Amino acid sequence: MARRKQIYEGKAKILFEGPEPGTIIQYFKDDTTAFNNQKHDILEGKGVLNNRISEFVMTGLERIGVATHFIKRVNMREQLVRQVEIIPLEVVVRNYAAGSICKRLGIEDGAALPRSIIEFYYKDDKLGDPIVSEEHITAFNWANPQEIDDMMSQALRINDYLAGLFAGVGIKLVDFKIEFGRQYEGDMMRLIVADEISPDSCRLWDLETGDIMDKDRFRKDLGNVIDGYREVARRLGVLRENGNAGSKGPVLVSDNDEK
Ligand code: UDP
């Protein structure tokens, strides 16, 4: 069998050429990094969980009319996605203060924000992904004003959808990061959601206990990182208790549900 052509290897994923022009195979690795690659570990099973969780979320977004790059999951670690031209920005939506905004603006960890806040970061590891304003984005041609408006309105819709989805399974959506790509179809171009949406890119806290169920468990050396990811998958209904994946929809979390 011919070896697949690798297009790109990132910190947590590998992209291979897809079976048809305009498609890509996205492979989820177990590698976990933080603090701009200074901290690295292999968390066994993380890639499998993120593949499932991202599939579930992207499929849900498609259902409410948000276009994404997701086409289908092909196996435990891979999904078929549309090829896009990635916009070099990380779009972060925050509902509660955590992480960098606490340090930058002196806000208490966990404080409710007056409204959902959208931030843009320029994707450049060498620079440590600096926060940028719309002025920088348009001046340096990373995106035009219309694309910025589009990303902002899509980000808010995604936030509404995700916040509701997670609240329904007893999880507070503190913040998350998404990426957009340009998809060309003949003369037409549209912005679609790319990359992944998973506990690697969201802050997810248990609504009742405040337990952290996302990558902060790794960043802050809290241990049991995979247990947090697995619990998110279980509650979303993409993972049964016995570990067999089978998408039956979200699992409502009752007061006396096992934690
Ligand atoms: N995030 C991400 N990739 C990055 C930086 C941030 O997925 O390269 C996510 C992070 O998991 C969190 C949100 O974006 O859900 C906001 O992150 P923040 O700016 O607070 O940065 P951090 O404190 O994680 O460095």
> Does residue 215 sit within a domain?
no
Q: What is the CA(8)–ligand 1 centre distance, in A?
A: 22
Q: Distances from the Cα of 29 to the Cαs of 4, 15, 51, 60, 238, in angstroms?
A: 16, 11, 9, 23, 19
pLDDT number for residue 239: 85
Total residue length of the chain? 259
Question: Phi and psi for 166 in degrees, rounded to 5?
Answer: -75, -40
pLDDT number for residue 1: 53
CB 89 within 8 A of CB 191: no
Atom from ligand 1 closest to the CA of residue 129: 8
pLDDT number for residue 183: 98
Domains of the chain: total: 2
Q: Are residues 66 and 165 in the same domain?
A: no
Question: Phi and psi for 133 in degrees, rounded to 5?
Answer: -105, 170
Q: Are residues 77 and 92 in the same domain?
A: no
CATH number assigned to the domain comprising residue 54: 3.30.200.20
pLDDT number for residue 58: 98
CB 61 within 8 A of CB 161: yes
For all residues of the chain together, what is the average pLDDT?
94
Concatenate the DSSP letters of all residues of 172-225 into one string. Answer: EEEEEEEEEEEEEETTEEEEEEES--STTTEEEEETTT--B-STHHHHTT-S-H
pLDDT number for residue 83: 97
> Does residue 58 sit within a domain?
yes
pLDDT number for residue 3: 75
CA 83 – CA 65 distance, rounded (Å): 19
Q: Are residues 103 and 197 in the same domain?
A: yes
Q: Are residues 114 and 190 in the same domain?
A: yes
Instruction: Determine which helix (DSSP H) or strand (DSSP E) holds 122, and give its type and residue range.
Output: strand 112-122
pLDDT number for residue 254: 58
pLDDT number for residue 251: 66
Q: What is the CA(223)–ligand 1 centre distance, in A?
A: 19
Residues lining ligand 1, judged by CB closer than 6 Å? 90, 92, 98-101, 129, 175-177, 201-203, 215
Question: Residue range 203-230: average pLDDT?
Answer: 98
CATH number assigned to the domain comprising residue 155: 3.30.470.20
Ligand 1 probe mutation, 91, 105, 175, 214, most atoms within 8 A of CB:
175
pLDDT number for residue 249: 59
130-147, pLDDT tens digit by residue?
999 999 999 999 999 999
183-216, pLDDT tens digit by residue?
998 899 999 999 999 999 999 999 999 999 999 9
**For the whole prediction, is pTM greater than 0.85?**
yes
Answer yes or no: is pLDDT of 248 > 60.
no
69-124, pLDDT tens digit by residue?
999 999 999 999 999 999 999 999 999 999 999 999 999 999 999 999 999 999 99
Q: Exposure pattern of 158-170 as b/e (b: 16+ CB <10 Å)?
A: bbebbbebbeebb
The domain of 56 spans: 6-84+226-257
Q: Are residues 94 and 197 in the same domain?
A: yes
Q: What is the CA(184)–ligand 1 centre distance, in A?
A: 29
